[in-house]
Amino acid sequence: MKLLHSGKVRDVYEDRGDIILVASDRLSVYDVILPTAIPDKGKVLTQLSLWWFEQLADIVPNHVISATDVPEEFAGRAVRCRRLDMLPVECIARGYLAGLGLREYQATGAVSGVALPPGLVEGSKLPEPVFTPTTKAELGAHDEFITFADVVAQEGAETAEELRRVTLEVYRRGAELAAERGILIADTKLEFGRAADGTLVLGDEVLTSDSSRFWPADQWEPGRPQYAFDKQFVRDWAVGTGWDKKEPAPEVPQEVIDTTRARYIEAYERITGKAW
């Protein structure tokens, strides 16, 4: 195999004309890779993505060719994928207000140019899910909010409309299924590419603890930080150390590693109904 790219958390290889996407146990927060890995994280995210790809297949095709035809050393954490021409847009759907979306709203009353009602607080449920795209930054840089008009200018009106429609449809389906299992999906990030025939295809990962915010529905309370089954727990720890969000990131204590691993696994088990 030929290594094509090593990202913050994934390594991309070429094999017999296909792509082998390998999810590592690395964890990044604020676009910086932490020096300490989370055991089994890559496998949990890969298996959760594969479950979601099946649930969403009637909405949008995905890049998966095989989850088993991969090198033995990557078993469980790798997927053989179709080659795609990836679109340079992070497609984010938000159903609740949190994170960078909250800060953008507090500063401007809008997120990615989408005006939101006044008086919302951290954790507020939005009247309707919204499409709030960002740039897709290079390693070490930060994604920046862009408007739908920016996506139109960059990708064309037809592609922009398609991205918004599919992103919101995937989010709604995912949020509905997760809610049945006691989890709120506050927001999620999707990535899309074009297949050789021009078809829009869902790639990368989907509705995982790295790409989404998962909250237990029975503990949701607007106006405060929410209990998180995702990497928000690590973000909060990192900020609490006084770290300036620049390289190098601090070493992660064993307690934080163990808690993060347990929360990722709990999200997987709750959503899929399968024991890890």
Which structural domains are found in the chain, ordered by start? Answer: 2-81 (3.30.200.20), 85-231 (3.30.470.20)
pLDDT at 257: 95
pLDDT of residue 140 exceeding 60? no
3-state class of 84 per DSSP?
coil
pLDDT of residue 129 exceeding 60? yes
Based on the number of CB atoms within 10 Å of its own CB, is 227 exposed (0-12), middle (13-18) or buried (19 or more)?
middle
Copy the structure tokens of residue 89: 């847009």
- Distance, in Å, from the CA atom of 45 to the CA atom of 49, rounded to the nearest integer, reads 6
pLDDT of residue 139 exceeding 80? no
Confidence of residue 232 (pLDDT cuts 50, 70, 90): confident
What average pLDDT does range 150-163 have in this prediction? 98
pLDDT of residue 141 exceeding 70? no
Q: Of 171, 164, 170, 165, nearest to 150 (Cα)? A: 164
What average pLDDT does range 122-140 have in this prediction? 89
What average pLDDT does range 129-156 have in this prediction? 88
Each residue's pLDDT tens digit, 178-215: 999 999 999 999 999 999 999 999 999 999 999 999 99
Confidence of residue 271 (pLDDT cuts 50, 70, 90): very high
DSSP H helices, 114-179, are 148-155, 157-179
What average pLDDT does range 23-36 have in this prediction? 92
pLDDT at 137: 67
- pTM score: 0.94
Share of residues in the chain with pLDDT > 90 (%): 92
Q: To the nearest whole number, what is the mean pLDDT of the chain? A: 95
pLDDT of residue 245 exceeding 60? yes
Return all residues near 82 (Cβ < 8 A) that are at least 6 apart.
18, 19, 63, 64, 65, 195, 201
pLDDT of residue 31 exceeding 90? no
